[in-house]
Structure formats: C-alpha cells, structure tokens
Structure 1
Amino acid sequence: MLFDHLGAAPRIHPTAVIAPTAVISGDVEIGPECQVLHGAVITAEGGPIRLGESVIVMENAVIRATAANPVHIGAHTLVGPMASVSGATIAEEVFLATGTRVFNGARIEARCEVRINAVVHLRTHLAPDTVVPIGWVAVGEPVQILPAERHEEIWAAQQELDFPGYVFGLDRETPDLMVQLTERYGRSLARHRSDRMLG
C-alpha cells in the first residue's frame, strides 16, 4: 500500500518489487532491483528515506525517518525480518539481521554486520567491517560494543547520548516526561490524518 503523506508520494523504481501488504508512506525513494517483503513498513515522518540499488527489506521490518533524521540505506544492504531502523545512515553491503534495532543518528559504514537482536544505539558510529555480535549493544562514538549483561556501562554511555533530548527535544529530568513526550509525538503523528492512499 502506498500513501501520500505531507504532500509527498513514494517513488519506486520500476524494477523494484513491493509486496502488496507492505506499507510505504511519504517521501520515500526505492531504487532499482529492491525487494520489500510482506508486512514491511517504510514511513517518512517529515524526513526523506532513500534505498539504494538491490536493498532487501524483509518481512515486518520497520524503517522510519524523522524531520531531524532522514534515512539512507546503501546498495546491496539487507534489512532482516522484524528489524527496525529509525533515522539512520547505512552504507553499502551492510547486513542487519533479524530483530536488530538501529536508532536515530546512527551511522553504519560499509560491510558491517549487526547480528540477530543486536542494537546500534542513538548517534553511534560503526566503522567499516564492524561486527556487532548476537544480542550485543553498540553505543557511542567512539563506539563501545558490549554484551547486554553489562547494562551499567551501556546505560552510562546512553545517558550521555541523551535519547529524550535528541529524539524528542525533552529533558530527561522533566517530571512529567512521558506526558509531554506522548502529547508532542502524538501531535506529530496526527499528521497522518490527511494521508491519501495511492492507486
């Protein structure tokens, strides 16, 4: 299903194959020979999304751009089933395995592998050929790659990266943080009220 969002319609190369149950919304450009499989969602929430040649987006993956963080995915990259990419730049020949999470402002260079259920956190930079092991977390710049059980170290790096400030423009110490966050984000998402399904 294709949707016009905020006056922008997806642009899909004629050689790309889009499953009928995939959702593509807004300022999205899908390059030649791409494959977008069933249940995938590619949504440009105020910022553009660009998929290079021969990118594969597998079942139930989610790719989301924001006004502050567009998405670029380089040629010959695979986004695995149930993976999530939010506002990140991903170079060529990258493998994002099943269940991976890549957050706003992350930069993943060429030929990296982010393995099953691994995380590349907010504003984290992976140099070319970096591997994030199964279930591990890559965080910060310079990057630290840590197993999930080293939560205290991950949390220390995450605090400096300031997720609520960077993504939502809110101070983590705000007493009613989740009230403000959900109201602000809800107003932004309400722009979908005017979306039009295309052909």
Structure 2
Amino acid sequence: MYWPNAMSRKDLTIMPGAVVASECDILGDISVGARTVIHPKARIIAEAGPIRIGESNLIEEQVEIINSIPNTILIIGDFNVFEVGARVHSREVGNSNVFESKCFVGPQVRISNGCVVGAMCSITAPEQLPENTVIFGEGVSRFSFSSL
C-alpha cells in the first residue's frame, strides 16, 4: 500500500522505489528517499522543521520520528533500521544505524554512523555518539568498535 495522492502534497516528496504505507502518519515537510520502506502505524512528524530521510531505510510499525527543534532540518542518512516502537527525536542520524525496539533518542542527541541503540535503551543527554558505538542493557552501557 502506498501513501494516497503522495505526489499531490506539496510538503511530501516520495522518491521512486520507496514504499510508504497509507496507514502511517506523515505530517509536515518530509522527503523519503528511494528504496526506503515505511510500515503502517509509523509516525513521522516534522513539527518544528523539515525531515529528510535518505535511501534504503527501514521504518517499522509504531516508530516515531519527530523533528521538534525549531529552525533545524532533521537529516536521516541511508541504510538505517528503526525497529518496532523506536522513538527517535534526534538532531541528526547518519548512515547504517540500528534503533532497536522501544528505544528512545532525545532531541539533543546526534547519531553518527554504524551505531546501535539497544532495545529499551534511552539516551537523552546532549551528545554526539562516536561512530560504531553500541548502547545496550539496563544500565545503558556502551562500547565502540573499530571497522575491520
């Protein structure tokens, strides 16, 4: 199922090859890159500024992506996975990240590339996660690894 009348909305751009379920909530100035898939019940809200979603992202059911920071563009890179119930209010998201089920990323957090935010983990303090950082566990532990 595709977003109905997608091409007629001035504030919504869906690139060829993207699949956007008609049962999701998409509000505000949003663009969706090629080969990105947005499942039913996802919420993408450009509340205070535009959202630009790159290519080949997977946004599963009940994911909430909100740009609530005035005068900013939330740019989401390519090849990211947002698992069921993840809530991402981040200032920016790089490439090849995984947001596991029911995690929360606050609006003052910047996610670089190759990061994993584990299931049920919450990060809210202002920071930029270094590349290849993994956040996990009840204590919201973290480690970084080098690319091979």
Q: Place the TM-score, normalised by the shorter chain, in its bin.
A: 0.7 to 0.9
* Local SS of the residue matching 1:107: strand
The one-letter amino acid of 2:123's match is V
State the partner residue of 1:99.
Answer: 102
State the partner residue of 2:19.
Answer: 17
- Normalized per residue, the structure richer in helix is 1
Pair 1:133-2:136 in alignment:
yes
Bigger radius of gyration among the two: 1
- Normalized per residue, the structure richer in strand is 2
* Local SS of the residue matching 1:116: coil
* Local SS of the residue matching 2:114: coil
For the 8 Å contact 1:18–1:35, the answer to whether it is kept is yes
Count of residue pairs brought into register by the alignment: 137
User: Aligned equivalents of 1:134 and 1:22: distance in 2?
Assistant: 30
State the partner residue of 2:79.
Answer: 76
Tell me: CA distance 1:46–1:17, structure 2 relative to 1, closer, same or farther (3 Å): same
1:123 to 111, 115, 126: 126
For the 8 Å contact 1:8–1:26, the answer to whether it is kept is no
* Local SS of the residue matching 2:78: coil
The one-letter amino acid of 2:48's match is G
Superposition RMSD in Å:
2.2
State the partner residue of 2:30.
Answer: 28
Q: Please list, as runs of the form range in 1=range in 2, the aligned pairs for 1:48-197 lying within 5 A after superposition.
A: 48-66=50-68, 67-137=70-140, 145=142
TM-score normalised by the chain length of structure 1: 0.63
Cα deviation 1:9-68 (Å, max 9, x = unaligned):
211112110112111111111101000001001010120111111011110000111225
User: Aligned equivalents of 2:44 and 2:4: distance in 1?
Assistant: 10
* Local SS of the residue matching 2:102: coil
User: Aligned equivalents of 1:123 and 1:89: distance in 2?
Assistant: 12
**Cα deviation, residue 135, structure 1:** 3.6
Q: Which structure 2 segments of 5+ residues have no match?
A: 143-148
Of 34-43 and 116-125, more deviation after overlay is shown by 116-125
Percent identity, aligned pairs only? Answer: 26
State the partner residue of 1:159.
Answer: none
For the 8 Å contact 1:45–1:65, the answer to whether it is kept is yes
The one-letter amino acid of 1:22's match is C
